[in-house]
Amino acid sequence: MSKVYDDMMNGEIYWPGDEKLMKQQLDCMEKLYDYNATRPHEWEKRQKLLKEMLAEVGEDCYIEPPLHANWGGHHLHLGKQVYANYNLTAVDDGEIFIGDYTMIGPNVTLATPNHPLAPELREKGYQYNLPIRIGKNVWLGAGVIVVPGVTIGDNTVIGAGSVVTRDIPAGVLAFGVPCRVQRELGERDWEFYHKGRRVPQELLKYRRPGKETQA
């Protein structure tokens, strides 16, 4: 790999207009266009393309087309059984890590690139990238935006329309603009799943002994 690619992946400021870098990026995007052209019953074809496109993909992952990714998913790492609804935008100039069982609502944006505040550097197109890390069993609601460098802990829920500008710990409900922790997930989340609607008794078998604070 070239020095400019190394800078891109290591959080250093760089110029994305480098000719070799741009060719590498365009090559990575070719299979993304194939993926977005697949038909609903072409499950096996989609799985094959994901394995070719993405940096890592675990078992039984599903991404509803269209998927939008600056590098065609080349820097996108998925654990197992990750689900993403329509119009996931993974601005993967830097690395994006998504843990097992995580669910992503429609129109979510995960953006790793940033630009310097100095106007003269922005005018020249310079940027830098910071990785995004999303834990296991996270739920990102519809329209969530996650900005560069953010980490979201395991089992956390991010409410629809939130803009996540800082790290969010594990096992909490967080929402807002900017996104803030509202409360921990725990006992009452096993009593009611929505307002006054009780969790059916037969589902309580899935509760993890000794981990009541994690829904």
Contacts of 126 (CB under 8 A, 6+ apart): 13, 14, 15, 115, 116
* Calpha distance 83→46 (Å, rounded): 13
- Is residue 115 annotated as a catalytic residue, yes or no? yes
Which of 23, 28, 2, 32 lies closest to 14 in space, CA to CA? 2
Dist CA 57 CA 174 (whole Å): 27
Gap between the Cα atoms of 170 and 3, Å rounded? 36
Contact indicator for 54, 40 with CB cutoff of 8 Å: no
| Cα gap 195→214, rounded to integer Å | 18
Distance, CA of 213 to CA of 57 (rounded, Å): 29
Contact (CB, 8 A) for 15 and 4: yes
The one catalytic residue among 74, 75, 77, 115:
115
Catalytic residues: 115
